[in-house]
Amino acid sequence: MLIAFNKPYGVLCQFTDRSTPPRRTLAEFGLPPDVYAAGRLDHDSEGLLLLTDDGALAHRLTDPRHKSPKTYFVQVEGEPHDDHIDALRRGVTLNDGPTRPAKARRIDDPALWPRDPPVRFRKTVPDAWLELTISEGRNRQVRRMTAAVGLPTLRLVRVAIGAHRLDTLMPGEWRICD
């Protein structure tokens, strides 16, 4: 079984949390028993998370050798210029080495649900949206890539993993994939 889930902001990609106070987890969303996340999405990121009860499928979805592309809508602080986009397309050097080239383009503000809590608005600091597709899955990679080119991430929403898309799922909703 494969499940597409729209992970809300502030939810961990696990079913239990031992921290004090406890944080929100996947346990509150009525997911089928015996599934687990195939990959991760940071606590402060939103969007598509795939869950499965099939270990081999989870491995295929997450192993970097399979280069499953992951697409994100990224709200960044600042005004992206061609040199920013070109740098992301070439790949940037992070503290753990160079990234693979990404597909990157500026997009109009996407039609998304409001984030709770909202991203802090600052009248004097512009922001913009990028669509970024990567084929790796390093820790906080998209955030580190945009920061490396001078565009800190304000909001990060994963909209696709390979052929699996978020589509119309709202935060906290899930569906079984065909």
For residue 71, with 0-12 CB atoms within 10 Å meaning exposed, 13-18 middle and 19 or more buried, which class applies? buried
Give CB contacts under 8 A, 24+ apart, made by 39-42: 39/13, 39/137, 39/161, 40/13, 40/137, 41/7, 41/13, 41/158, 42/140, 42/143, 42/156
d(CA 67, CA 47): 19
Q: Whole-angstrom distance between the N-terminal and C-terminal Cα of the chain?
A: 9
Whether 63 is catalytic is no
Q: Which of 17, 42, 44, 53 is catalytic?
A: 42
Catalytic residues: 42
